Structure 1
């Protein structure tokens, strides 16, 4: 059974929340030399999850929010999944911060507006 668009939007928001929590843990323990790698791994996993959910949203839904770089988010998922050896922590951070913020706002708005269509690949 396929997940609905609303469920996919909720998945995205849950993953964004997990990224926020991972960042907070890293900031609370600045002297732990191993933590940045652990935080980066968590962030990459959740960005991967977000990308999967974004890819499953219908085009008309993503098209209603052209200010969100939906395809960039999906491409980041592909980069993490297929070109993990190219990733640099600073590049990942710089690349995802603003798009994730816009994605959060868009997903919250779309959920408020109500959407229950089945998610389809874009």
Structure 2
């Protein structure tokens, strides 16, 4: 999820809805990245989602469903809003979770893969 969020943010860059709508390759690329994020979120068990309540699971899954099933509702404005506002929030949450996991493993709070 983190990798695809970072990729979508990078591809979008400083584009606005008009420039994204005019660039079909970038629009399809960021749409795919957001779709993958939602698909990954949907694969996390309810217990896993409950354990990480700061992750916007339902929003990610809902956006994936909108992209996959609502072809006519694909909007460059919604995509820009999602990528420019929501994905930086998501990346911050995921980075915090991953950094905490690494710190916990280093401190011995979590067993390492070797144990």
State the TM-score, normalizing by the size of structure 1: 0.66
Residue 61 of structure 2 corresponds to: 74
Tell me by how many angstroms 1:96 deviates.
4.4
Contact kept, 8 Å, 1:22 with 1:39, in 2: the verdict is yes
1:119 paired residue number: none
Q: Which residue, out of 73, 96, 99, partners 1:109?
A: 96
**SS of alignment partner, residue 114 of structure 1:** helix
Equivalenced residue count is 101
1:70 is displaced (CA, Å) by 1.2
Which structure 1 residue ranges, 5 or more long, are not aligned?
Answer: 1-11, 117-122
- Structure 2: 5+ residue stretches without partners: 103-109, 111-115
Structure with larger Rg: 2
CA offsets, 1:6-50, max 9 Å, x none?
A: xxxxxx1110121122113x74xx98x942x32221111000000
Per the alignment, residue 39 of structure 1 pairs with: 26
For the residue of structure 2 that corresponds to 1:66, the secondary structure is coil
Worse-matched range after superposition: 44-53 or 91-100: 91-100
Q: Is the contact made by 2:35 and 2:68 (CA closer than 8 Å) also made in structure 1?
A: yes
Q: Which residue of 2 aligns with 1:23?
A: 12
Asked if 1:14 corresponds to 2:16, the answer is no
